[in-house]
Structure 1
Amino acid sequence: MSYEKLAKKIVQEVGGKENINSVIHCVTRLRFKLKDQSIANTEVLKELEGVMTVIKSGGQYQVVIGEHVSSVFAEVIKLIGGEAPQADETTEESTEKNTIFSKFVSLISGIFMPVMGAMAAAGILKGFLVALTVVGWVNEEMGVYKILYAASDAFFYFMPILLGFSAGKVFKTNAYITATIGAALVYPTMIEIYNAGEQLSFLQIPVILMNYTQSVIPIILASFLTAKLEKVLLKVIPKSLQLIFVPLFITVIIVPLSFIVIGPISVYASELLAKGAMSVYSLSPLVAGLLLAGIWQIAVMFGLHWAFIAIFINNITTLGYDPINALLYCTVFAQTGAALAVSLRTRETKMKSLSTTATISGFLGITEPAIYGVNLPLKKPFIFACIGGGVGGAIAGFFNAKMYGGFASGGVFGIPMFINPDGISWEFYGFTISLVAALITAFLLTFLFGLSNKVSSTKTTTTVKVSTNS
């Protein structure tokens, strides 16, 4: 089926473009916000050639496509008229009842999803530079190092600008204004004043200067307030003056407010969040790895992992490293190991082809083909992959593995990010052991016990409703 035909069927089966509030895509999924999810023909969608499965989570109706999702997304956008129709302010985005947590997950995913590709690329490049430096192939004085380091570090250094643009779109305000606010936070003069330890005041109000490069929370809060202020200004300023004076008043009010109030409070909150995450981790890194890695791919299935990504990045910003993602990284290899076992054991031609492709994608960090096309439909391989992930996570916790200097979403190319810039130690050796252990555990369990039932490529539909009730 062509991308155009598949997109046409998807739009039709989710209830037509009039039922779509918005649509975005991540690495493998079309993520719809529908006015009424009950209208969507889920059973028909899951049987379409080119669709792996359908997931309802966090107020989103997610159609899992795989590696061709960007091509299908482009056709969907054409069909719905260039951009997704926006919901009325007085209308709920979905008739599905959303909890506070599901709204939070949806918010975080909306902000970070558009930048994940660039973030992962920058993080992987930075990791490779660390690895090349450690082995002595390059040094920090070489031109090639300086240029590539600038390419890898620019995303994280100027992250408030990029997240400001993304957050502006999520909060439905002028994204260029929120990006400008982010730029003000990392403006070179302000960084120089901070580094020099100089004092600064604004209308006799003392400013607590901070370094906002690589920060996350300040610009998100500033963007939220920008959206609220914009609505007020649009009501009180005549339409003939709005083009100039709405952005002017927002800039004059929000930028100083960001430096005086939002920024300092956000930085302190970020430090508390990092300390809280580390305090839980420090109780027992081994147990934390066993539990978190054991259930992580389930969280990924339902899109709940987005709530943790802000923690990963916040740890990097405040601590210089993140131990949590080091525990979870092995889960990609566990799912890949299970898919590899199916590829070697199954005699069914279609499943062998699917599992082989899923194995290749898994090593590159994309697990959806393995999960939805192979492991989950066969049930046991998915369970064994979760067990393998738990084993790998426990080993990573035992060796206190850490991620340094960026963010990687998974796969072999992200491994160098876990090398300490000061040199390779048992932290990294233990981390690599965790990857191998997760892959081998899942592979052996699946190879020996995972195909006792008849192999089938039947697709699955997963529905999850997150509840705050215990």
Structure 2
Amino acid sequence: MNPDQIAKEIFAVIGSKEKIHSSECCMTRLRLELDSLSDDKLAALKKINGVLGVNQTESELQIILGPGRAAEVTKCFQELLKGSDSKASETKSAPSFGDGRELHAKIRAKNATPVKLFFKRVADIFIPLIPAFIACGLITGSVNILLRLFPEAASYSSILLLKIAGNTIFYALNIVVGWNASKQFGGTPALGAALAVLISHPLLSSVTLFDSPLVPGRGGIIAVLLISAAASWLEKHVRKFIPEMLDLFMTPLIVFLIAGTLAILILQPVGGIIAEAIGTAAYTAVKSGGALTGFILGGIWLPCVLLGVHQAFTPIHAELLSQTGVTILLPILAMAGTGQVGACAAVYVKTKNHALKKTILSALPVGIMGIGEPLIYGVTLPLVRPFVGACIGGAFGGAVQAAFTVGASTLGLSGLPLAAATDNPSVYLLGIVASYIAGFIATWLIGFADPVEEEEK
């Protein structure tokens, strides 16, 4: 089914344009802020050809469509909203009396905890960078595989250019993180980017403060996040007392000078301490704990995803990538998704419910490719016990990855595609197989309550 038709069917099921408050695309999903839908309408959405799953949390509806298709359907959906003069669009209009959006915002604010808001803000900073990480990581991984097979190719111009291409994201990482972070914290993005350049400037090494030379780039993205947050807070307060006629040039000057001074003297050193602690903790945990650490992390990751705390790991992955070129956590955590594949395969074999078999059959291919939402919300979570089986599968797969300290040169990938971006593809694939088998066996032994066919009720 084409994206336009999927968008029209989703729009038709929701029923009232007045219910929709905003719409946006998030990698694999169409996210809608709207008044809650009935169970019947949620079931109708799940039956739309092209919809892989549906998840409703508080006043947000997530319609899982998969990579690529999600962006296309979102674009078509927003065009439908614009054409119908709905209140939801990419650019939200000013609220009018009685339109409900102010009340809706208050309800969301009441339900949103500081922790949830923090994790969401962190995710919003890094999610736009994931395509670049994927592209560069796959290039780096592919080059590494090629050089293992043909070591003599290391001096080829084409290989050297590909190596440069694979490292590109790291040369701009601080700048784009500074831009996105300032945007999320309510500041001027360009100032955040400029401050990120300041602490990364090569000439910093020629400056000595307190009998120690400055270190360009120290603290990485952690320092950039701290500086962007401080600069954004400062900018909001500076604007309160700067006259409008002077605001254009005085505000950025004052903010840059004060925030830049704080960055060099305090925030970059603090960021450096935190970043070094993150790197040391991650490598110590995996290398000293080995398979046990991987077993624990791989086993608890699916519950972390459900609780939303997984978003906090994104800057940790990014910091490890900027420090060492690989993240040793991602291959471990990716096993949670592969454990689901094994668990769902067991459900497929045991169930007598044809609708459930059809759901699994349509969701397994994308699950193998690392997109786990359809399996989580369509199979394992509703059945409960297979979710436990999936966690067990993830634990065994994580143990394999940690035992061999497999690293990945990207973030945002999972499942089979991640193999190309790891420094040990054969061991990574071995971990996937272990996760498949463990998830299958655990789910088979634990069992589940097989849902009755609708016509039999």
TM-score by length of 2: 0.80
Structure 2 match to 1:454: 451
**Residue number among 124, 130, 152 corresponding to 2:138 in the alignment:** 124
Q: How does 1:6-85 map to 2 (within 5 A)?
A: 6-7=10-11, 12=16, 15-17=19-21, 24-31=24-31, 39-41=35-37, 43=39, 46-49=42-45, 50=48, 52-56=53-57, 61-67=60-66, 68-75=69-76, 77-78=78-79, 79=81, 80-84=88-92
Q: Distance in 2 between matches of 1:138 and 1:11?
A: 63
Partner AA of 1:433 in structure 2: L
Number of residues paired by the alignment?
Answer: 428
Q: Distance in 1 between matches of 2:340 and 2:410?
A: 24
Q: How does 1:64-143 map to 2 (within 5 A)?
A: 64-67=63-66, 68-75=69-76, 77-78=78-79, 79=81, 80-84=88-92, 94-136=108-150, 139-143=153-157
Q: Distance in 2 between matches of 1:307 and 1:385?
A: 22
Q: Check whether the contact 1:336–1:358 (CA below 8 A) recurs between aligned residues.
A: no
Aligned-residue Cα RMSD (Å) equals: 3.4
Q: How does 1:222-371 map to 2 (within 5 A)?
A: 222-281=227-286, 284-343=289-348, 350-371=355-376
Q: Distance in 2 between matches of 1:114 and 1:310?
A: 13
Greater helix proportion: 2
CA shift digits 1:327-382 (9 cap, x unpaired): 22222211122334445565655434432231211122111112122222333332
Partner AA of 1:145 in structure 2: I
Q: CA shift at 1:234, angstroms?
A: 1.9
**Residue number among 175, 179, 184 corresponding to 2:193 in the alignment:** 179
TM-score by length of 1: 0.78
Q: Check whether the contact 2:221–2:315 (CA below 8 A) recurs between aligned residues.
A: yes
Give the SS at the match of 1:63.
strand
Give the SS at the match of 2:108.
coil
Q: Check whether the contact 2:383–2:449 (CA below 8 A) recurs between aligned residues.
A: no
CA shift digits 1:77-115 (9 cap, x unpaired): 453243246999xx8682434444323312211211222
2:450 maps to 1:443: no
CA shift digits 1:307-333 (9 cap, x unpaired): 122222223334554333232222221
Q: Distance in 2 between matches of 1:433 and 1:304?
A: 28
Partner AA of 1:69 in structure 2: A
Q: Distance in 1 between matches of 2:411 and 2:212?
A: 31
Q: CA shift at 1:75, angstroms?
A: 4.5
Relative to 1, partners in 2 of residues 1:456 and 1:181: Cα closer, same or farther, differing over 3 Å? farther
Give the SS at the match of 1:133.
helix
Q: Check whether the contact 1:323–1:400 (CA below 8 A) recurs between aligned residues.
A: no
Q: CA shift at 1:48, angstroms?
A: 3.8
Q: Distance in 1 between matches of 2:259 and 2:78?
A: 33
- Identity over aligned pairs, percent: 24
Give the SS at the match of 2:220.
coil
Q: Which has the higher contact order (CA 8 A, sep 6+)?
A: 1
Q: Check whether the contact 1:207–1:259 (CA below 8 A) recurs between aligned residues.
A: no
Relative to 1, partners in 2 of residues 1:446 and 1:138: Cα closer, same or farther, differing over 3 Å? farther
Q: Distance in 1 between matches of 2:18 and 2:297?
A: 34
Q: Distance in 1 between matches of 2:436 and 2:452?
A: 21
Q: CA shift at 1:444, angstroms?
A: 4.0
Give the SS at the match of 2:154.
coil
Relative to 1, partners in 2 of residues 1:387 and 1:13: Cα closer, same or farther, differing over 3 Å? farther
Q: Distance in 2 between matches of 1:239 and 1:229?
A: 17
Q: Check whether the contact 1:157–1:214 (CA below 8 A) recurs between aligned residues.
A: no
Q: Distance in 1 between matches of 2:442 and 2:372?
A: 18
Q: CA shift at 1:252, angstroms?
A: 3.3
Structure 2 match to 1:219: 224
Q: Check whether the contact 1:165–1:178 (CA below 8 A) recurs between aligned residues.
A: yes
Q: Distance in 1 between matches of 2:186 and 2:13?
A: 29
Structure 2 match to 1:165: 179
Moved more, 368-377 or 403-412: 403-412
Structure 2 match to 1:464: none
Q: CA shift at 1:159, angstroms?
A: 0.8
Give the SS at the match of 2:57.
strand
Q: CA shift at 1:224, angstroms?
A: 1.0
Relative to 1, partners in 2 of residues 1:76 and 1:210: Cα closer, same or farther, differing over 3 Å? farther
Q: CA shift at 1:274, angstroms?
A: 2.6
**Residue number among 428, 431, 435 corresponding to 1:434 in the alignment:** 431
CA shift digits 1:211-235 (9 cap, x unpaired): 4289211211121122112212322
Q: Check whether the contact 1:210–1:263 (CA below 8 A) recurs between aligned residues.
A: no
CA shift digits 1:191-246 (9 cap, x unpaired): 2653xxx3346xxx878522428921121112112211221232222223323333
Q: Check whether the contact 2:185–2:228 (CA below 8 A) recurs between aligned residues.
A: yes
Structure 2 match to 1:414: 418
